[in-house]
Chain A
Amino acid sequence: DIVMTQSPDSLAVSLGERATINCKSSQSVLYSSNNKNYLAWYQQKPGQPPKLLIYWASTRESGVPDRFSGSGSGTDFTLTISSLQAEDVAVYYCQQYYSTPSVYGFGPGTKLEIK
Chain B
Amino acid sequence: EVQLVQSGAQVKKPGESLKISCKGSGYSFTNYWIAWVRQMPGKGLEWMGIMYPADSDIRYSPSFQGQVTISADKSISTAYLQWSSLRASDTAMYYCARQPGGGGFYFGGVDVWGQGTMVTVSS
Could you tell me which A residues sit within 8 Å of B by CB distance?
1, 38, 40-42, 44, 49-52, 54-56, 61, 91, 93, 95, 97, 100-109
Asked if B109 is an interface residue, CB under 8 A from chain A, the answer is yes
Q: Which of B1-60 contact A (CB under 8 A)?
A: 37, 44-48, 50, 59
B-side contacts of A100, CB under 8 Å: 50, 59, 61
Could you tell me which B residues sit within 8 Å of A by CB distance?
37, 44-48, 50, 59, 61-64, 95, 97, 99, 106, 108-111, 113-116
CB < 8 Å neighbour of B109 from A49, A61, A103: A61
**Distance in Å from the Cβ of B42 to the closest Cβ of chain A?**
10
A-side contacts of B97, CB under 8 Å: 49-50
With A95-B47, A103-B61 known, 11 other A-B pairs at CB within 8 A are A49-B114, A50-B113, A52-B111, A54-B109, A55-B111, A95-B110, A97-B108, A102-B62, A103-B47, A103-B63, A109-B44
Listed A/B pairs (16) with beta-carbon separation below 8 Å: A38-B106, A42-B110, A49-B95, A49-B114, A49-B116, A50-B97, A55-B108, A61-B109, A93-B44, A100-B61, A103-B62, A104-B47, A105-B61, A106-B44, A106-B47, A109-B45
